[in-house]
Amino acid sequence: MSSGSEEPLTREGEHVAPGFKAPAYHCPWCGVLASQNWIQLTYDMPTTYVKSEHWANRCRNCHNESVWLSTGPGSDGGPTRLMAHPAVGGGPRPHVDMPDDVRADYEEARSIVARSPRGACALLRLATQKLVDDLESGSDKLNDKIGKLVAHGLPAMVQQALDSLRVVGNESVHPGQLDLRDDVETATALFGLLNLVVEDCITRPKQVQEFYGQLPPSKLQGIAERDASED
């Protein structure tokens, strides 16, 4: 990927969703923030080429192509174009440690976010419910389970991420103060929040436990005796 001025300025870890004629975004094929080469598609007529309203772009990192189709006039009178191939509308890839049942809803949300931000938000709320169910057993409502996780020491940042997913997801199903019909940015931000929860609640504890388990048995025994003496 080149480092020219055509690329957007982003912060570390920030996801740039695919956008029509955007000079660079996170490629849905390879996941890399890469520059894109754009070309307007044409019809091959007997004596000439006729430009269509459809476009294609090639990722400069993996060289795979995406196709954008015109879906009719937009609010500004110009044509609206959506990515038709691959069938992913945007949003960062799911965290590698995301549970499979959560990942299924997450991927479905990614596939429709450009066409239906409200639908994506609703699916992410469902994914959040499943993730919290994995973290906190029982039949309580999502709000109550988040409260229990907070009582068990859940960091405030993770609590805020979960409540954001919960509230915005509810608004997508029962419209209230938030109008999410065309709010792709809000829907896209929720993907990052869910990945954040997975990182904090699943990945980091697993990494600590794996490293701790590699300590010499004598050291682990000493730590256990120390903690037992403090009870």
Q: For every one of its 231 residues, what pLDDT tens digit does the chain have, with 9 covering 90 and above?
A: 444 444 445 555 567 778 889 999 888 888 888 999 999 988 876 677 788 888 999 999 999 999 988 876 665 666 778 788 886 656 778 888 999 999 999 989 988 887 788 899 999 999 999 999 999 988 899 999 999 999 999 999 999 999 999 998 888 777 666 666 667 788 888 998 999 999 999 999 999 999 999 999 999 899 998 988 876
Q: Hey, what long-range contacts does 99-102 have (CB within 8 A, 24 or more apart)?
A: 99/130, 99/131, 99/134, 99/202, 101/130, 102/127, 102/130, 102/131, 102/134, 102/194, 102/198
| Crossing angle between the packed helical segments 184-198 and 100-112, to the nearest 10 degrees | 160
CB atoms within 10 A of CB 14: 12
pTM here? 0.67
